[in-house]
Structure 1
Amino acid sequence: MNPITLLAVGVLIFLLTRTPLWAKFKTQLLLIGGGLVIFWLVATGKLHALFAVIAAAIPMGQRLWSVVRMWPAVRQMAEKLTGAKPTANTGVADGPMTRAKAAQILGIDESADPKTVRDAHRRLIAKLHPDKGGSDYMAGLLNQARDTMNG
């Protein structure tokens, strides 16, 4: 090997391992150097372009994996900031609701008039709305009971 090249490599290794300023940029220099080597190999025809794309995608895959592992913590932080609570069942009850069941949920008689239904719904939804600390399930159940009684 050429003595000048050997000396240059030795100085570079010394700077990368001993000097704090150079040590800070060690990863960047290695990535840039690796990219240049891959580019040179592709340009001279010694490396197929597909392998160059794969080599370039590896660092992005590592970063993507970090984001995937961090997702539950990000979701939990967003829930804390917005005050949202995760719910497993956010829909309404399964199956058709009968008029008797709707009246029982709203706490009224089956033959109640629309004004009584509206008042009972408003009273209960004020307590059980998701914005007031209630669940999506209960709000959906109340809405379904109101719709059943009104229609």
Structure 2
Amino acid sequence: MASSMIIAGLGMATIGFGARFVLRTMPNLGKKMADAVGTFQKLDSKTLGNSKYYKGGFDPKMTKREASLILSVSPNANSQRVRAAYKKMMLVNHPDRGGSPYISAKLSEAKDILDK
């Protein structure tokens, strides 16, 4: 019983001396870490701000603009290009291959709107 108390005390002392050593050798560690986090947040907000991804949700009734954003084609794209984009995206998002039924329905709806 006494030996376990001694070992626990020595372990606590070792942790204390180690922490004291780290704090004395790196006095500006907290400031450096805060600067690094701030730089990362600025970088992250810049890259997300210029993202090519559409930030909004789906409209209640799909518009031609939204359909073109979903399929990543121009609103004035010809039917061949719309069908090629639809096929490419459905290969990845088809429910039989593990994709979402909701997304595949939205892709089909977008193709129908742009293919008219």
Q: Name the TM-score, length of structure 1 as normaliser.
A: 0.38
Q: Name the TM-score, length of structure 2 as normaliser.
A: 0.49
Structure of larger gyration radius: 1
Q: Which has the higher contact order (CA 8 A, sep 6+)?
A: 2
